[in-house]
Structure 1
Amino acid sequence: MGERIHATYWLETSDDPARAAEVIAGEQSSGTFVALATETPELKARSGARVERIELLGTATTPSLPTPKASARYTQCLLELSWPIENLGACLPTLMATIAGNLYELRAVTGLRLLDLQLPPSFAAAYPGPAFGIEGTRRLAGVATGPLIGTIIKPSVGLSPTETAQQVRELVAGGIDFIKDDELQADGPHCPFEDRVTQVMRVVNHHAERTGKKVMVAFNLTGDLDKMQRRHDHVVAQGGTCVMVCLNSVGITGLHELRRHSQLPIHAHRAGWGYLSRSPALGFDYAPLQKIWRLAGADHLHVNGLRNKFSEPDESVIAAARSVLAPVMPSAALTAMPVFSSGQTGLQAHDTYAALGTTDLIHTAGGGIFGHPQGVSAGVEALRASWEAAVAGETLAARATRVPALAGALEFWR
């Protein structure tokens, strides 16, 4: 028996679920909308997708998505399909066309969401996955234990390279571990990439020479492939230790080619995730898609944050982080670091730690650090103290009695 790819969906259909499942399986493998003489029983047995499981969940009287043909009832179910690896080989772009292609457009489908993905070992053999992951990130950032305390350059856009470097100067002096560009800031005329990197790394390198600590900065090099490679090389030449890319802007191939070229960890931002996930009846859960991003080479993956400024509920955030920390497959862990962001402060530290049971993460707070009434250094100290309290099982109020910066932050954060 050869290797097979397994995908599980939440499906809503106006048709009989078993018949709809067969239509989907045919559309995504050897079949089409009419029977063909060339799709022989032997070919179908070899190359056809297989319906592995249908589990009925309930019915609705209205469709979740617009449909050209109304029905009196819409049945909801879990559907598991599998494909032989021979249909596509270990190819991530073709995998996406197979598990998330035309099936979303079929008339019988009034709701479809990819929930789970199980890949065979041949994918791990074909794709190297993260080059650095958790261990390599900790080594380069000089943070052996605890979370990486991080922030985002704010304002997101509008600062010049010199102004950006000044913010970095304050942050490194304040003891930050990790700094990232905003996803909106790549190579605009007001803040050119190379000039920004040169000025920022001058600050970072000078601080490292004086203190022995080189802060990790994720420079957003999102762009065309040749530009990303040139930008990466400039970061390396300036002594940088991380690059950043917007996943949904460059795609799987862009990330994979950057991974093949890169000498640094790749900080993967999921900007645009909402359009892939926000409707419960359409798109993706994070767990299956992050496996593909990790195989393609992401070392850090954003997962939003608890009590975030967006629409994602806390249980979804924690499920995303747990999926990033779990092995891609039993034979290949391909570890990556979850990144918490979006309206974060030290108030989320205890709940985040309790839910994950690990500090193998990056916790970034933009306004939560820059807005501290006592300044940036106090903002960094307060966020770090919050995590130290969480790990020690101590309340924030108790820790604040010994850390004035945290006491000041509690008033500001609330």
Structure 2
Amino acid sequence: MAEPRIYATYWIETAFPLQQAAETMAGEQSTGTFVRVPGETDELREAHAARVEEIVELGEVTAPSLPGSGLPRSGDATRRAARVTLSWPISNMGLSLPNVLAAINGNLSELKAFSGLRLIDVRFPPEFLTRYQGPQFGIEGTRRLAGVFDRPIIGTIIKPSVGLSPEATAEQVRGLIEAGIDFIKDDELQGDGPHCPFNARISAVMRVINDHADRTGKKVMYAANLTGDIDEMLARHDHVVAEGGTCIMASMNSIGLPAMKVLRAHSQLPIHGHRNGWGMLGRSPAIGMSYIAFQKLWRLAGIDHTHVNGIDNKFCESDDSVIASARECLTPMFPAPHKDCRIMPVFSSGQSARQAAPTFAALGSIDCIFAAGGGIMAHPAGPAAGVRALRQAWDAAVAGIPAAEAAGKSPELKAALEAFSG
């Protein structure tokens, strides 16, 4: 029986012959180096060398995308782009995400043969589910805890990001939950500073949320940012559970894959994976990795939600990239009967009522958290009207009614479309 393999797909740019360039990648990230060495037998290469599975030429490029690349000995300076897929036997790195990352990313971006190299996708065999738990709650569990089943979960972010006291944070939460919000998250900048200690903040916020739940039956989901050292995160998780919370948040790039694995094994709550810092990996089209590849690592490690940016966002990511990432979150990583590891995509970054219709049209699903900060807080009639406007916008989008037409019967939506038209 053939050994299971990991597959990784790259976009490359090189002046070297494409087959040679692909073999350089495979050798660098498995058995080889720049010369054949003693011990690198044919039998060893057969068992452990990475394989070049596919090369698809994409055409010539006029100039190198990145500095520092070299030319072949022929002196030919013609550069071409291609899509290359490599594979590795899992015995090379074991069932270890940190070592997978070393194999599929490793030193590749520094190789002189390439003037561009970017990881665009990765596929795991289901054997990894024997070591990693994947999401605990995913889409269905998140909906159950939030009490929202037939529409997107409408969310927002505590603003200002930092500077509020625990009491001021709780008062902002009070206004938001009375306005009908489903989901509230800490900003990723709000951790455990002396002006707003984590335990005091969560206790103050949960008193408000629990009181509202006792009176109305609706318990708003609050994603508490517990990012920190591993022992701190586990203790903070326990405090959230003790206070009756239903979600925790961690900055993925800050804590790393091993820490996320530990947190997932300990957690009794959904994990909201914040992607801050991903721009360093994703902004350049010539280097780093796509979010499609990135989020798969974290889904295996155990997150239940993750940010995918948003349509017409305030950052640099294109709408096509945003929607591709969101769709991938909703796409099973493994076939039945294995766990599918689907998670909830979180739209954020400059979102308002005007992005509801294009988001639904592009995504084709209501399975998402749609988070608006300024799009709620800065509504001309106040946050409550901002929440209602988002609900009205999504209801219209799902019903196939143009937002401008729906606004004729919904003053909150009309004001939002006018306020956020720019």
TM superposition score category, shorter chain reference = over 0.9
1:231-250 matches, cutoff 5 A: 231-250=236-255
- Indicate conservation of the 8 Å contact 1:61/1:72, yes or no: no
- Indicate conservation of the 8 Å contact 1:165/1:203, yes or no: yes
- 1:374 aligns with 381
CA distance in 2, matches of 1:392, 1:77: 42
- Indicate conservation of the 8 Å contact 1:118/1:329, yes or no: no
1:47 and 2:48 correspond: yes
Q: How many residues align?
A: 414
1:29 and 2:30 correspond: yes
Could you tell which deviates more after superposition, 389-398 or 136-145? 389-398
- Indicate conservation of the 8 Å contact 1:186/1:220, yes or no: yes
Q: CA deviation at 1:14?
A: 2.6
Q: CA deviation at 1:60?
A: 2.5
1:238-277 matches, cutoff 5 A: 238-277=243-282
Classify the secondary structure of the residue corresponding to 1:258: helix
CA distance in 2, matches of 1:281, 1:225: 34
Q: CA deviation at 1:273?
A: 1.3
Q: CA deviation at 1:333?
A: 1.2
Give the AA of the match of 2:56.
E
CA distance in 2, matches of 1:196, 1:25: 50
Of residues 335, 351, 356 in structure 1, which corresponds to 2:342? Answer: 335
1:408 and 2:409 correspond: no
Give the AA of the match of 2:420.
W
Give the AA of the match of 1:19.
Q
Classify the secondary structure of the residue corresponding to 2:313: coil
Structure 1 gaps, min length 5 = none
1:56-114 C-alpha deviation (Å, 9 max, x unpaired):
11222421111153562222111111101111121111000000101111111211011
Percent identity over paired residues: 59
- 1:361 aligns with 368
Q: CA deviation at 1:217?
A: 0.3
1:273-299 C-alpha deviation (Å, 9 max, x unpaired):
111011111011111111111000010
- 1:395 aligns with 402
- 1:62 aligns with 63
Structure 2 gaps, min length 5 = none
CA distance in 1, matches of 2:154, 2:126: 35
Give the AA of the match of 1:377.
A
Of residues 102, 105, 113 in structure 2, which corresponds to 1:108? Answer: 113
Q: CA deviation at 1:397?
A: 2.6
CA distance in 2, matches of 1:360, 1:16: 44
1:303-338 C-alpha deviation (Å, 9 max, x unpaired):
000000001111111001001110112243112000
Instruction: Please report the RMSD computed on the Cα atoms of aligned residues, expressed in angstroms.
Output: 1.2
1:353-402 C-alpha deviation (Å, 9 max, x unpaired):
11111111000000010011111111111111110111111122332233
Could you tell which deviates more after superposition, 224-233 or 55-64? 55-64
Q: CA deviation at 1:242?
A: 0.2
1:66-105 matches, cutoff 5 A: 66-67=67-68, 69=70, 72-105=77-110
- Indicate conservation of the 8 Å contact 1:306/1:317, yes or no: yes
CA distance in 2, matches of 1:306, 1:230: 36
- 1:299 aligns with 304
CA distance in 2, matches of 1:39, 1:176: 61
CA distance in 2, matches of 1:162, 1:299: 29
TM-score of the aligned structures, taking structure 1 as reference length: 0.98
- 1:349 aligns with 356
Q: CA deviation at 1:115?
A: 1.2
- Indicate conservation of the 8 Å contact 2:69/2:114, yes or no: no
CA distance in 1, matches of 2:37, 2:100: 24
Give the AA of the match of 1:3.
P
- 1:128 aligns with 133
Could you tell which deviates more after superposition, 378-387 or 116-125? 116-125
Alpha-carbon spacing, 1:354–1:68, altered in 2? closer, same or farther (3 Å): closer
- 1:137 aligns with 142
Q: CA deviation at 1:183?
A: 0.8
1:20 and 2:25 correspond: no
CA distance in 1, matches of 2:269, 2:57: 46
Could you tell which deviates more after superposition, 186-195 or 11-20? 11-20
CA distance in 1, matches of 2:258, 2:295: 15
- Indicate conservation of the 8 Å contact 2:159/2:373, yes or no: yes
- Indicate conservation of the 8 Å contact 1:17/1:77, yes or no: yes
